[in-house]
Amino acid sequence: MATKLNQIIAVEKGVKSKSFQDLTDAHHQVQKAPLLSGISRTYQPKDEEGEQLPPESTRVQVKIDDVLRDVATSLTRLFDVTATKDWANMQARADVKVDGDTLLRDVPVSYLLFLEKQLKDLHTFVKKLPVLDAAEAWTHDASTDVWRTEPVRTVKTKKVPRNHVKAEATEKHPAQVEVYYEDIPVGTWTTVKFSGALPAKRVNDLLARVEKLQDAVKFAREEANGAEVTDQRIGDAVFGYLFG
């Protein structure tokens, strides 16, 4: 049964983690001098009446040749899996299709991954584009290439003081007068608002395009990762040279 690229990608992480742990363990092993050392000694008293002592011995627990062999075996698996993935990535390609039309042809899987990241960033960018205030009615002004509202007229007023006689003057009291202010129209403001933002529909359309292309790129990547791979045997050559 042929192996697929996505299967190799799925196991690569686990192989990488295990080989790193194996190399770390081996490093710690070879740093422990007592494990590499052994001894054998026997005791012979000077005469027959002397004290008899039992022989002493300590076995060598770690041999560097064995450690190197284990490291080579573990890393050979990693080297082979990674090589198989990288060699396959050189061949893995797919078309990016949107609504049945081919937008990009024979795109390498590495570039598809790049596209996915860029489109994610673009989606964030487009989603936050400013939109026109929905409370206003906007039309496009061709002369300035911006959006504008219809003119709105508002009256400008001026406060003019007026006197209100609360009580007429008499021989004994002056007149009681209260001052108040009256708004008198003095002119008219005509206001037109302009904006460089986009209609909400335009932003939604742009978002839909980005999302559609995101889906197309993901589909193409899955298709590319479904390509059959040829197992590479790199590790034997490397460690045959290194530790041979």
pLDDT, position 62:
87
| 172 or 53, greater pLDDT | 53
pLDDT value, residue 116:
97
Q: Using a pLDDT cut of 70, give the percent of the chain over it.
A: 100
User: Does the global pTM surpass 0.85?
Assistant: no
Query: How would DSSP label each residue in 80-126?
Result: HHHHHHHHHHHH-EEEEEETTEEEEEEEEHHHHHHHHHHHHHHHHHH
End-to-end Cα separation, the chain, in angstroms: 33
Q: Where are the alpha helices (DSSP H) in the chain?
A: 5-30, 33-36, 64-91, 109-127, 200-225, 235-242
Asked if 12 contacts 80 with a C-beta cutoff of 8 angstroms, the reply is no
Q: Is it the case that residue 175 has pLDDT exceeding 80?
A: no
Q: Residue 1's pLDDT band (boundaries 50, 70, 90)? A: low
pLDDT tens column, 96-107: 999 999 999 999
